[in-house]
Structure 1
Amino acid sequence: MNLLIVVTISTLFVHKSECSLGDHSPYYQRCVEKCGLVNCTDDGLHFTDYAQPFYLELLQWSCEDECRYECMWKTVDAFHDRKWRTPQFYGKWPFVRFFGIQEPASAFFSVLNFYAHSAMITKFRREVPSDSPLYWLWHSYCIVSLNAWLWSTIFHTRDFPITELMDYACGFSVVLMSCYCMIMRLFRNGPNFLLVSITTFFVAFLANHVAYLSMGGFDYGYNMMLNIYIGTFTAICWFGWSTYNRVRQPYVKKCAIFVVLAGLVMLLEIIDTPPILWTFDCHSLWHLSTAPLICIFYSFLIDDCKYLRKLEQQREDKKLK
């Protein structure tokens, strides 16, 4: 359930608007129009007399994109000269790009989360025997999480409609996977028919949601609320289960700590202020804060799998007697 809350907002992400104060201002619009007429070809993709650095060309910064970027900063300066607040552009704060990366801090911290999952699943494999209960379930969870953080990195590197869709869809897949893993942990001894039915339901639900997001306009509100409901439900169940088993299984306190800390750092997503040094906004700091939590959750998974394996061995020993 690690990225449970971790991505309850990674898909809660941010309700992105079509236009904001900055890009809606006449100053910005005139600037972009003039820049395009002077520097760009008719299709807005290429420069008439300028050779882009290779990394900008590699990340598909078109002439029109360059005009928007340059005019964004001119508009910010114009707003500040008039003592006005920093405006947003297309639903985002202005960021200084780094080698063509639109949101360098969020992109880097997404890589950090990816690394945390990779490192912890390696530790998991080293300490947990492969015949332990739920061994492959948590591997599946890790794969889904790695995929989500990969697309988060790509999206924060370059924001295109397809990268946005994949970021939101994969973020939701982690929230749903977290809920699925929680249910499978609670009902792991249930009949096979029940477990197969639960699995089928979750797969169908994910496919339906992604198909819905892919059709027509992106429904940010629906996607956000669905993530909140599922993530909150999963967090409550994990916390309740941990509280109930805290005496018999002392290690479950790690799960409870994870849920509480994940909920606290999620408050960063509520704060909406201009980025520090035009690089570190609250969303990127949220990505930074989730990386250490991954270690706590995997530590719980390692202890839990060892506990379940010990229970199975005790049952087998009783049968032999």
Structure 2
Amino acid sequence: MSNPYSWHVLTSVANPPALPHYPSLCAYSAGHENCQYNCMQAITDKAIEYGDEVMQYYGKWPFYRWMGIQEPASVVFSIGNGWVHYYYYHILKRKIPVNYYLKRPLLVYALLGMNAWVWSTVFHARDTPLTEKLDYFSAGLLILYSLYYALRRLLYIKHTPWMLVALFTVCYGMHVGYLSLVRFDYGYNMLASVVVGLVQLSLWVGWSLRQYTIHTDRRGFAYMAFVSVVGVALAMSLELLDFPALWRVFDAHSLWHLSTIPLMILWYRFILIDTKHEIRYHKADVTTTSLSQSTNEERHYTPQQPASPNTLQQLPAELLIRIFLLAQNPQLRLATRGLYGISRSALIRAQFLIYRFGRTGVLGERGMTSFRLATSLAVVDNLLKLRCNPRADSDWLVWRAVEQQDIRLFILLVDAIQPDTRTLERYLNGAAMQGSISIVDVLVGRYGGSIHHGNDTMMMLACVGHQVAMVLHLIGRYGCDPHAERDQYLRRACLDGDDDLVAVLLPGANIHCFNDAPLQNAAHKQHSHIIRRLLEAGADPHANRGASLISAVRNNDLASVSLLLDAGADARCQEDSPLQWLCHQGGGTAILDALVVAGTRNGTPAATMVNCGKGMPLYEALAGGHAMVVEGLLGYGADPTTQRALEGLHEAILRNHVICVELVVKATPSLVLPNPPSYYLSKSKLTDPMRLLLQNRLGLV
């Protein structure tokens, strides 16, 4: 089957249209090249007319020439990209300080960008082997230099890395030499550009993500770098999605050039903002000059003891006279005043502290306590600008600011730290325990901290720290519930004996929660003043079978025992446990008297009470050797002949409690021992006073 376009093609070849004057400016010949163009357009016209696929010619889609330009759209967009570099070259030159270490690399970057897009414009206007190589080589140089800039910026390489420059120069020279002298391999050239571009892309993407996860002080503009580099990478995908030129003007390659214009504007805007930020907050690391040039001696400074007056007086007389004469110079006073003025500079002091303690530890306890003026706001501000670690020694300076309620210092440190939610909660907890109300307000209002984190942990910590004002502030301003978790704060305050805090938490509280736990806690810790307040508020002294009274007795707390008994506590609760505990521990007779008086209010004889449990109180007192309690029990009618009392007497003899045994013997002259006399006298551990007592008073032989 014959080619349907053959007649038209032959006609075009045989009768080529006259070549206008302007294509000749691009060095087109009137014969062969013009014929190729007309044949290409004629075949494309017929392909579209017959609905066939549009073909490429010499690797390019058919374009309409304009003013002799082969690819008008790509030329226009290349000029647009070059203009962006030209415009921002002058912006960078004007706005970036001379001492910024990346100013020259940035200006070189803009110049290389202009160079690359100039040759792109020439190549798309007139495709020849020479213009093609110049376009590819210029673009490759710009990509390689972009990686060089990324390494210096992200790694803070302050001085020119000549080894890296030499490596990049050799690699670029070998790349150009291979393509020029061996073989112009399109696939290799594309692969080399993509590999270098991906390395640069990975560096900037990693840096950008780091600003939103670890270092948050660049969050406001770090996205610009991410969008720019990722956008350029995505725009390159247009090369993979190649399609016939729309209206024989716009192909995928030209649209790629169009998309890089706004992305390059965004990139330069990022550079300007990033440069301003670096100079402001990291000046020492990004500037090539410093207010002070430290020597090796300054870096290894060791304080020396000043010379004593006696040492000066030992100098030769001629030298002393010379010193005296020089001291008469009026300029000496001005010089020393100038030196003193320099020494007062906060920046100089900050740099000295850095040289003395290092950036990682200068804001720690040792660095901040070594010199009186180290913690001044101006010095700390300069230390932070010099990139010192604000969290040295586990946030030592932060906690000091919290303790002293130094708002300005605290804000300065926290702004530098940019804490996450967990760190904010730690700071809130610490401020609550210290009672730093103003710090809490700053953390909530300025940094968005949550008062109610961790199930209102702050309220509990404020209570533990006895910070009554903080508790009132949390309740009044932030609406914390003082009765949460069944009045856990009141129970804690009663346990700690904080009367002021109890007074704050008591109104509206359920004092009977957990079987009157507040009263039991206060009795357990011997806080009689809290017991009085709770009883006045209606606490039940009988709760938990008189547990509060038993705790008071076990603690030998007469004041608490008296308060509970006066409030109606049962002195004989739990089968006379208070009396038995008193006898077991040997408490004072005042508590014994109080228990007996309270236990006999209902008409019960005192003897009945003290002989409870078959004489158990007397047993405990005798076994423990508590003579005063034994005497008290006997005075109230305790019977030494009861079963438990005799067992107690047996233990008292074996344990050599002489006074206790003597008291029992005096109270009961006809006492019969629980065991035969020979049994006790045979015990080797029996002391002589006890043997003598048994022999004299009981007639034992």
With the length of structure 2 as denominator, give the TM-score of the two structures. 0.38
Instruction: Return 5+ residue gaps in structure 2 as ranges.
Output: 292-346, 353-378, 380-701
C-alpha displacement of 1:295:
1.1
For the structure 1 residues 28 and 240, does the alpha-carbon distance in structure 2 shift closer, same or farther, using more than 3 Å as the test? farther
C-alpha displacement of 1:267:
2.5
C-alpha displacement of 1:166:
0.7
2: CA distance between counterparts of 1:52 and 1:199?
49
For the structure 1 residues 28 and 285, does the alpha-carbon distance in structure 2 shift closer, same or farther, using more than 3 Å as the test? farther
2:256 aligned with 1:286: yes
Map of 1:16-31 to 2, 5 A cutoff? 31=9
C-alpha displacement of 1:286:
1.1
C-alpha displacement of 1:261:
2.0
Q: Equivalent residue for 1:232?
A: 198
Q: Aligned AA for 2:208? A: S
C-alpha displacement of 1:187:
3.0
For the structure 1 residues 38 and 257, does the alpha-carbon distance in structure 2 shift closer, same or farther, using more than 3 Å as the test? closer
2:351 aligned with 1:319: yes
2: CA distance between counterparts of 1:51 and 1:85?
29
Equivalent residue for 1:87, pick from 50, 55, 64: 55
2:242 aligned with 1:272: yes
Deviating more after overlay: 77-86 vs 91-100: 77-86
Deviating more after overlay: 266-275 vs 217-226: 266-275
Contact kept? 1:28, 1:71, Cα under 8 Å: no
Deviating more after overlay: 308-317 vs 113-122: 308-317
Q: Aligned AA for 1:298? A: Y
Secondary structure, counterpart of 2:166 in structure 1: helix
For the structure 1 residues 54 and 231, does the alpha-carbon distance in structure 2 shift closer, same or farther, using more than 3 Å as the test? same
C-alpha displacement of 1:34:
7.8
C-alpha displacement of 1:123:
2.1
Deviating more after overlay: 162-171 vs 269-278: 269-278
1: CA distance between counterparts of 2:83 and 2:248?
25
Q: Equivalent residue for 1:242?
A: 208
C-alpha displacement of 1:177:
0.8
1: CA distance between counterparts of 2:6 and 2:99?
61
Aligned-pair identity (%):
34
C-alpha displacement of 1:126:
2.8
Contact kept? 1:113, 1:291, Cα under 8 Å: yes
2: CA distance between counterparts of 1:218 and 1:260?
29
1: CA distance between counterparts of 2:137 and 2:8?
35
For the structure 1 residues 248 and 86, does the alpha-carbon distance in structure 2 shift closer, same or farther, using more than 3 Å as the test? same
2:31 aligned with 1:60: no
For the structure 1 residues 260 and 287, does the alpha-carbon distance in structure 2 shift closer, same or farther, using more than 3 Å as the test? same
2:177 aligned with 1:211: yes
C-alpha displacement of 1:285:
1.1
For the structure 1 residues 38 and 118, does the alpha-carbon distance in structure 2 shift closer, same or farther, using more than 3 Å as the test? same
Q: Equivalent residue for 1:71?
A: 39
2: CA distance between counterparts of 1:34 and 1:288?
34
Q: Aligned AA for 1:114? A: G
Contact kept? 1:132, 1:308, Cα under 8 Å: no
Q: Aligned AA for 1:248? A: D
2:146 aligned with 1:114: no
2: CA distance between counterparts of 1:197 and 1:264?
32
2: CA distance between counterparts of 1:26 and 1:207?
50
C-alpha displacement of 1:28:
7.4
C-alpha displacement of 1:190:
6.5
Q: Equivalent residue for 2:69?
A: 101
C-alpha displacement of 1:252:
2.0
Q: Equivalent residue for 1:153?
A: 121
2:109 aligned with 1:141: yes
Contact kept? 1:106, 1:284, Cα under 8 Å: yes
Q: Equivalent residue for 1:6?
A: none
2: CA distance between counterparts of 1:227 and 1:262?
13
Secondary structure, counterpart of 1:278 in structure 2: coil
C-alpha displacement of 1:227:
1.0
C-alpha displacement of 1:236:
0.8
2: CA distance between counterparts of 1:60 and 1:32?
25
C-alpha displacement of 1:216:
4.3
2: CA distance between counterparts of 1:66 and 1:216?
31
2:330 aligned with 1:298: no
2: CA distance between counterparts of 1:304 and 1:77?
52
Equivalent residue for 2:223, pick from 253, 269, 280: 253
Contact kept? 2:88, 2:110, Cα under 8 Å: no
- Greater gyration radius: 2
2:93 aligned with 1:125: yes
1: CA distance between counterparts of 2:267 and 2:130?
31
1: CA distance between counterparts of 2:119 and 2:157?
34
Secondary structure, counterpart of 2:64 in structure 1: coil
1: CA distance between counterparts of 2:159 and 2:66?
53
Deviations 1:239-286 (A, max 9, x none): 101221341322222111212322332232222111111101121111
Secondary structure, counterpart of 1:54 in structure 2: coil
For the structure 1 residues 176 and 67, does the alpha-carbon distance in structure 2 shift closer, same or farther, using more than 3 Å as the test? same
1: CA distance between counterparts of 2:266 and 2:246?
28
Q: Aligned AA for 1:146? A: M
For the structure 1 residues 34 and 267, does the alpha-carbon distance in structure 2 shift closer, same or farther, using more than 3 Å as the test? closer
Deviating more after overlay: 151-160 vs 256-265: 256-265
Q: Equivalent residue for 1:4?
A: none
C-alpha displacement of 1:30:
10
Deviating more after overlay: 281-290 vs 115-124: 115-124
2:208 aligned with 1:263: no
Contact kept? 1:96, 1:278, Cα under 8 Å: yes
1: CA distance between counterparts of 2:169 and 2:11?
46
Give the paired residue count. 284
Q: Aligned AA for 1:99? A: M
2: CA distance between counterparts of 1:171 and 1:93?
22
Contact kept? 2:86, 2:111, Cα under 8 Å: no
Q: Aligned AA for 2:68? A: G
